[in-house]
Chains A and B, each alone.
Chain A
C-alpha cells in the first residue's frame, strides 16, 4: 500500500543544510495500522507530509497505492490524494465557510462520486452528529469538530488514512471517544491507518509502532498490544 525507500529530507536553515529525515525505508501493507512516534523535532510530521505527498523528499522514493509520489507534480499528487487518501489533523482544519455536512461532502465531490449528500449524512450519523448537519465549524465544540473531520476523512472511502495527532487538541474523555471512533471506522471500512502521535495509549492501539529519533527510524516493531495478543496465543 505504502512504500518508501531511503527517504531523506534536507532543508536550508541559516545557510546550512539541516537534515530532518535521513534514509527512512518503510513498507505499510493494506489494512495495517501504524503509529509514528518520537519526541518533538524528531521528524514525525515531516515524514507524514512526505508520505501523503504534501511535500517532496530531497532524495529517496515514496510509492503510495503504486503511484511514485516523488515523481509527480503537485496536481498529480492532488489527484492521488483525492483517489486514495484521507486526513485527520490535530487542529481539525474544517473549512470554516462550509457546514458540517458540506465539509464531509467535499472529498466525495472532489472525487466526483455520486450520492455525496446521502453518504455524508450517513457518516455524520455514524459519528453521532445527526443533529448537527447544518452547523458551521464555529458553532461546534472541539470534539464535535474532530468528529466531523473524521467523517470527512472516511467520506471518500480512502484506502489510506493519515492522522496527525488526532487527539492532541482534545481532553482525555473526548480524545478517547475520537480514537474509538477512528479505530472502529477503520476496522469497518478496512482502511490502512498511519498516525503520528505523542500519545502512547493511542499508539498502543496500532499494530505497529515506528519510532523516530533525529530523523532516523530507531525502532519498527509490533506494538505491545499485538505482542500481548501474540503472547496469549
Chain B
C-alpha cells in the first residue's frame, strides 16, 4: 500500500450507525481521554486568572471570579521584551528559511541536478543531529574573542538576536526544504511543460505559475518554522541573555528570580504559548507533513 494517497482517496473512516450504544461509549471514552490530556493546559490557563491565594487552593476551583491582575503584573515585570524577541526571532528566521528553501526545494523537485538525492539527505541529516554536538564550538565561535588559537577572532554573536536567527534558520531549513519539495512534486508536469512552451523564464515559471499553486504548502511551511523557532529553548538558553532572550528564558528567570507566584507564572505561560497554540490549531492538518519531513501527507 502506498504510504501517501492523494487527498481524494483519503476518506474519513467511520463506523456505521448500527450500534448506537457502542458509539456513545466510544464518544464518551474519547472525550474523557481528550480532556485528561488537555487538563494541564486548561489548568494553566485557568490559574492565570486566579488570585495567588486561589492558585494554590485545593480542591482546585474551576469556578471563580476571574482577575486580569496577573497579566498586568507580568507586563509590569518586563515580559514584553522577551515576547517581542520571540516574535522577531521566529519571524525573521522564517523569512530567511523561505528565502533559502524555496529555490532549493524547487530545484530538488522540478529541476533536478545530478546527485539531488544526496543533497536532500544531507539536509535532513543536519536536522537529526543533536544540537548538543555543536553547542560547545558555537559558544566559542559566537563569543567576542573566539578561540585565540584558531581564527583569533570571534563573531561576537553571543547575546544577540542575529545569533539566534542564524541558528533557527539552520534548524528549520531542512524541514522546509523537505516539506516544500513534497508539495512541489504534486505540481502537474503538463502545467510546467505548458509554461515552458509559452517561453516563460525560470523566474516567471516559479513566481507566477508554480508558487501560487502551492500557497497552502508555503503557508504551512512557514507555520511549522515559526512554531519550532518560537518554542526553541536550548540555543536561546545557552547563547542569549538579558535583553535578547526569548519567552522560554523569561519562564526560567521568572521561576529562579521571583519565587513562587503560580498565578503570575501561569499567566505568563499562557501568553507565551497562545500564539503558537492558535497557529497550530489552524495548521493541524499540515503539521504531520512537516513533522514527518513530508513523508506522510
Q: Do A and B originate from a single complex?
A: no
